[in-house]
Amino acid sequence: MSVLIPKELNTILDYTPQKYKDMYQRVQRATQVLTTDAEPEVAPTPKEVVWTRNKTKLYRYISDHPKKHKVPLLFVYALINKPYILDLTKGGSLIEFLVERGFDVYLLDWGTPGYEDKKMKLDDYIMDYIPRAVRKVLRKSNADEVSILGYCMGGTITSMFAALHPELPIRNLIFMTSPFNFDNSGAYGAMLDDRYFDIDKVVETLGCIPPEMIDYGNKMINPMGTNFGPFISLVERADNENFIKSFKLLQKWLNDGILFPGEAYRQWIRDFYQKNKLIKGEMVIRGQKVNLENIRANVLNLAGKNDLIAPPHQVEALMNAISSEDKEFKVLPVGHTSITYGSQATKITYPTIAEWLIKRSN
């Protein structure tokens, strides 16, 4: 680490104990990171657009590695933030990891909604977008079946899609920190209680929900840890360039939020957090009741032991609701984000998914 020290401080620093010199340099480096350092490059894995609809793009990842598995894999992300958390940096990318192991990998990127998309509902994503993307994947890969990995809210949406489309050839489903039972949702439940949180007034006032509001809600789960913890760690570890790289990557992603279409948000809060309709079998999408028993594909359901956004009990609830004979629930020693990026992700999450998929993709 090279930090320039102003000349006028040289004399003072000559008589300063070394630990305080080190602290000064860490504070100065942390200041550079937050004010003048360039933003990191993200989403390094090569890809091409193979289908579009409205703002949504379907990407297929390009690789020199030969395809080893017959069943292609489609990633479905949440309507919150951007999906490049799944392909954050070389050596820290779940997508790169699977591409290098011979999987034909696709990503459904919802794009960046605008105010004109405020009427978009979960129904539209589940009944129009995902089915067409799946059919495109099957045609492009010349495959008879498909695997789908849903992360966070993307997994909850995928479960409804799979339950409503038994005609589509889905062999494998992987859910990663996806909530299914919202009955005991902790701080979220308290904040979103319909006695205090008027979802209709919120949507009618805002149209689309700004990312700052979503981010604020997430940070209120652990306000001290999420608001101040990363910056305290930055000062303490500013002499570690590997830590700084990870810090900048995650901060870029966390601050790169997108609008949440108002009608979809209304459903997400009312039907899930306030009424818990999915696990009760009361969820209706475009006139059809969502019956999770219709899911018969092989299922790997992953939770994070330290996840405050979708705790393990919310994730595990899926297991008794589906009809799959081959189904497995695992709790990994990670959090909601560290399940897909970080040292534990590369050591545990990536191999767990790859090994499970390899056995079921030929």
Q: Which residues are catalytic?
A: 152, 307, 336
User: What's 184's DSSP letter?
Assistant: T
Rg of the chain taking only CA atoms, in angstroms: 22
Write down the residue that tokens 């767990």 correspond to. Answer: 352
Burial of residue 137 (CB within 10 Å: 0-12, 13-18, 19+) is: buried
Residues in contact with 227: Cβ distance below 8 Å, sequence separation at least 6, in sequence order: 219
Burial of residue 90 (CB within 10 Å: 0-12, 13-18, 19+) is: exposed
CA distance 285 to 287: 5
Residue 135 CA from chain centroid, whole number: 23
Write down the residue that tokens 């299914």 correspond to. Answer: 180
Residue 327: strand pairing partners: 299
Q: What is the DSSP string of 93-145?
A: -HHHHHHTTT--EEEEE-----GGGTT--HHHIIIIIHHHHHHHHHHHHT-S-
The CA–CA distances, whole Å, from 3 to 25, 28, 217 equal: 7, 7, 37
Contact between 37 and 59 (Cβ < 8 Å)? no
How big is the chain, counted in residues? 362
Contact between 62 and 111 (Cβ < 8 Å)? no
